[in-house]
């Protein structure tokens, strides 16, 4: 079964500093990995995804994520945090090898707080 873990409930970072939101996954094959952001009382917004190829994936709003197969990780990063980045971030995984409908499994989310 596929799973994803976000080990930090909350990440605090000062505005202008680099940020990292951690994600690790478990699948039987090579994963498809996604990051979404959720603002209060809103749906999820897609940030980026890894399917294959370059391990560094660039996405929306200056975010990027690095796929590390040996560490089964897909950490979200941004070189310089903005106060407006404060939100809930979800990592998600899909196992393309699994049969039937390829369900996406979401982590429990990490709250990012950017301090002015």
Partner 1 sequence: DTGVSQNPRHKITKRGQNVTFRCDPISEHNRLYWYRQTLGQGPEFLTYFQNEAQLEKSRLLSDRFSAERPKGSFSTLEIQRTEQGDSAMYLCASSTYAGGAETQYFGPGTRLLVL
Q: How far is the CB of 63 from partner 1 (least distance, A)?
A: 15
Token pair 């500093």 is found at 17
Radius of gyration of the chain (CA): 14
Cα separation, 91 vs 56, whole angstroms: 15
x/- site string to partner 1, residues 18 to 47, per CB under 8 A? --------------x-x-x----xxxxxx-
In this complex, which beta carbon is closest to partner 1, that of residue 42 or of residue 69? 42
Residue 9 has which token pair? 């409930």
Chain positions contacting partner 1, by CB under 8 A: 32, 34, 36, 41-46, 49, 51, 90, 92, 94, 96, 100-109
């Amino acid at each position: 079964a596929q799973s994803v873990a976000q080990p930090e409930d909350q990440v605090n970072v000062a505005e202008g500093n680099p940020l990292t939101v951690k994600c690790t996954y478990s699948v039987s094959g090579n994963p498809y990995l996604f990051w979404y952001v959720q603002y209060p009382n809103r749906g999820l917004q897609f940030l980026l995804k890894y399917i294959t190829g370059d391990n560094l994936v660039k996405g929306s709003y200056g975010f990027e994520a690095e796929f590390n197969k040996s560490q089964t990780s897909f950490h979200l990063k941004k070189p310089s945090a903005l106060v407006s980045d404060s939100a809930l971030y979800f990592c998600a995984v899909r196992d393309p090898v699994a049969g039937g409908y390829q369900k996406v499994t979401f982590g429990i989310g990490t709250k990012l707080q950017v301090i002015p």
